[in-house]
Structure 1
Amino acid sequence: MLLAIWRYRHFIVSSIKNDLRSRFSRSKLGAAWMILQPLAQVAIYALILSRVLATKLPGTDNRYAYVIYLMAGMTAWSLFSELLSRSVNMFVENGGLMKKIMFPRVCLPLIVAGSALVNNILLLAAAIGVFLLIGHMFTLAYLWLPLLFLVNVVFSLGLGLLLGVINVFVRDVAQVMVVILQLWFWLTPVVYMPTIVPEGLKAFLQFNPMYHIVVSFQNIMLYGRGPDVTGLMGVGAFGLVMLGLSLVMFRRAAPEMVDVL
């Protein structure tokens, strides 16, 4: 698989570029929508919830603290949700391509991951620009962000690839995941703080992999401190195991997938 990826590296890069172009080919604002849509969502949540939650943010007296907190959480969540949603449908949507063109099928997850990563890096750049405008300077803690992106991609792609293979044979998976993602969002402290969760439920947050990723983004971007390394290592290890299992499953199921599609 690694050798095939290296030989088709130019195909992967060109496919990522074509994917980004095709998504906004007839749009006047083009790729700007990749940034404007999540920023608009942040603005809506901030306007609705800032008066309720801003005063409850511990450890900071920044009047824009909730906006920063929210943008940090959305940066982490948007990469996960986009990568997972697109991975679930990537084989079904590219069924015609898989039948007509001979190429290593493992390229598809990398193309999806590369496209989602570019989108999220642009969103991160926009978020940092907003922080600078409101006087919130970034710190050395931002050097942790590449590790957080890597853990996020490994976990998201591992879960997405596994569900994507199953979705080829059981199409209900994609429909169920839309509902699960909505529920998962509200079980993750993106728009609220973990401190407002009842004591009896706080322990359950530790079993949510996205909790550790989102809180790490928020600690870095709002408070300027490092992430919870222990929690991230656990999520990363779980993601690697799941990615390995999904690759084995994908390799064995690939011939049957083409026939089903």
Structure 2
Amino acid sequence: MGDLLSAVWRYRHFITSSVRNDLKARFARSRLGAAWMILQPLAQVAIYSVVLSRVMGAKLPGITNEYAYSIYLMSGMLAWSLFLEVVTRSLTLFVDNGNLMKKIFFPRATLPFVAVGSALVSNMLLFVATLAIFAIVGHPPTLALLWLPLLTAVLVAFSLGLGLVLGVVNVFVRDVGQVMTVVFQLWFWITPIVYMPNILPGGFARVIAANPMYYVVKAYQDVLLNGRTPDLVPLAWMAVGSLVLLGMGFVMFRRAAPEMVDVL
């Protein structure tokens, strides 16, 4: 792991320039450019708000703001959008960069950090837009917002670890990418983002409790919606599990890298 971090530090300028080029390439011929990174998740929030706000609005105890459900949605979507982008980009990272891995010598371990950097820029822009909307609807931030960097770090570690494991397997079994598209759709709906967990029947509580994203999303909602310190015990377990998963992902990547180049 020390060699990995050392290589990443030596190639930090390569990583930052790659993130910059990646963002430029994604919106090269788009008139709105980077604004799409904000507009797409906000449009999804707006749709759910219009459809479900009257049904769910009364289910938020202790919140008097008339836009409480929209705030709840945006808090959860901020976490989910970062998770989904990191995992999906990592899932196809090695397949998409196959030619680069075969033709140019560089520490291949820098590729995941390029994906994470690009996702973090997108998420930061969405975060700024979220705070602006909160201010407009009369929901100013509190000091609990200081927990957000820690929550983001835990979420990135979990997302990148999962993405690396799936990305390595996807090089050898391309069906993984297709299967995960369906899995992510199901995963979204078993994570309390659009609905509150207290409206579910008792049996579903076990499914929710087994979902690691539940604890991160709930922590985001505690910080952004309720302005309070998140529950640290499950968050600590989540952090430990995320580091283990991240280490597993990099070990798999390092051991499989020579074979991956041949397959690609």
TM-score, with normalisation over the residues of structure 2? 0.98
2:9 maps to 6
Amino acid across the alignment from 1:116:
A
1:231 maps to 234
Moved over 4 A (4+): none
CA-to-aligned-CA distance 1:6-45 (integer Å, 9 cap, x gap): 1111000000000011000100011011001111110001
Aligned partner of 1:200 among 199, 203, 209: 203
Separation (CA, whole Å) in 1 of partners of 2:67 and 2:174? 43
The within-5 A match list for 1:105-254 is 105-254=108-257
When the two structures are aligned, how many residues end up with a matched partner?
Answer: 261
Aligned-pair identity in percent equals 62
Displacement of 1:125 in angstroms is 0.6
Separation (CA, whole Å) in 1 of partners of 2:203 and 2:138? 38
Displacement of 1:200 in angstroms is 2.1
Could you list the runs of 5+ residues in structure 2 that have no partner in the other structure?
Answer: none
TM-score, with normalisation over the residues of structure 1? 0.99
Q: Tell me, what secondary structure is at the counterpart of 2:92?
A: helix
Q: Tell me, what secondary structure is at the counterpart of 2:145?
A: helix
Q: Tell me, what secondary structure is at the counterpart of 1:210?
A: helix
Displacement of 1:204 in angstroms is 2.6
Q: Tell me, what secondary structure is at the counterpart of 2:31?
A: coil
Aligned partner of 2:98 among 92, 95, 100: 95
Could you list the runs of 5+ residues in structure 1 that have no partner in the other structure?
Answer: none
2:262 maps to 259
Amino acid across the alignment from 2:202:
E
Separation (CA, whole Å) in 2 of partners of 1:245 and 1:168? 17
Separation (CA, whole Å) in 2 of partners of 1:55 and 1:245? 43
Work out whether residues 151 and 216 of structure 2, in 8 Å CA contact, stay in contact via their aligned partners in 1. Answer: yes
Separation (CA, whole Å) in 2 of partners of 1:145 and 1:110? 20
Q: Tell me, what secondary structure is at the counterpart of 1:227?
A: coil
Displacement of 1:203 in angstroms is 2.8
